[in-house]
Amino acid sequence: MGVVKYLDEINLAPSTYHGVSMGAIVASIEALNLKPSKKHFLYDSVFNSLKWIRPKFNGSLISTSKIEAILDDIFSNLRFSDLEKELNIIATNYHSGKLTIFNKDNNIKIKDAILASIAVPALFPPKKIDNEYFVDGYISSNLPLQSINNNLINLVVNVTGKNSFKRLNSKEIEELSILGNLERSIRILIYNQTKMALKEFNKEYILLEPDVSSFKTSYFHKYQQIKEIGYKEAKRVLLK
């Protein structure tokens, strides 16, 4: 959202949008081609509904009813073909484990594609679409590079790169909890997956990597701080 804020300030509007996980929310709202004030009002509505979310330890999953209601207000029954701009959302088929790209070709409801792409396993329930279950796109590809097919300069916002985790000393590693170890391991795994994906990406691109190493995956309540970090990173890189 911080990156989007800076793009609005310099009047730079991408022609296509690609999103995965929480980035699917941002990409979808951007593809609506709304005025900046309206867009950022919607972002606040969505992420305010998520900010009280915390992982549960009793084995139950967190209901998506609040976020579903907000997405329904924003997108109603809009499908990909109803948009003027191209939108691609990445999710993971939970049956086969394969990457799935939702766009005009399969033309499902945008809100359903978002719910599939943000369905973090062990946090949110899988999303059922046409008798198939889908979960967060980051499991199969944390950058939506597979859906990019153009000869344009692509702006890649990567929150899972080198700035997604800090270097820890021995004492800090020894004091990590089970959940702390799990989250760090997943971030390192995704970091290496992302690094390889960028290496194989043969399109021209500008890379933004905001420093989110101080924020856990469930820190939705700190989205304003994260937004500011994204804004500063976009300004730093794009001013060059």
pLDDT at 174: 94
- Tokens (6 digits) for 89: 């959302």
**Residue by residue, what is the 3-state secondary structure of the chain?**
CHHHHHHHHCCCCCCEEEEECHHHHHHHHHHCCCCHHHHHHHHHHHHHHHCCCCCCCCCCCCCCHHHHHHHHHHHCCCEHHHCCCEEEEEEEECCCCCEEEECCCCCCEHHHHHHHHCCCCCCCCCEEECCEEEEEHHHCCCCHHHHCCCCCCEEEECCCCCCCCCCCCHHHHHCCCHHHHHHHHHHHHHHHHHHHHHHHCCCCEEEECCCCCCCCCCCHHHHHHHHHHHHHHHHHHHCC
Mean pLDDT of all residues in 60-73 = 83
- The whole-model pTM stands at 0.86
pLDDT band at 54 (very low <50, low <70, confident <90, very high): low
Name which residue leads in pLDDT, 122 or 86. 86
pLDDT band at 135 (very low <50, low <70, confident <90, very high): very high
Q: What is the pLDDT of residues 160-185, one digit of tens each?
A: 767 778 888 999 999 988 888 888 88
Which CATH number applies to 2-147+213-238?
Answer: 3.40.1090.10
Domain layout of the chain by residue ranges: 2-147+213-238
In this prediction, what percent of the chain has a pLDDT beyond 90? Answer: 41
Task: Give yes or no for residue 58 having a pLDDT over 70.
Answer: no
Mean pLDDT of all residues in 207-234 = 84
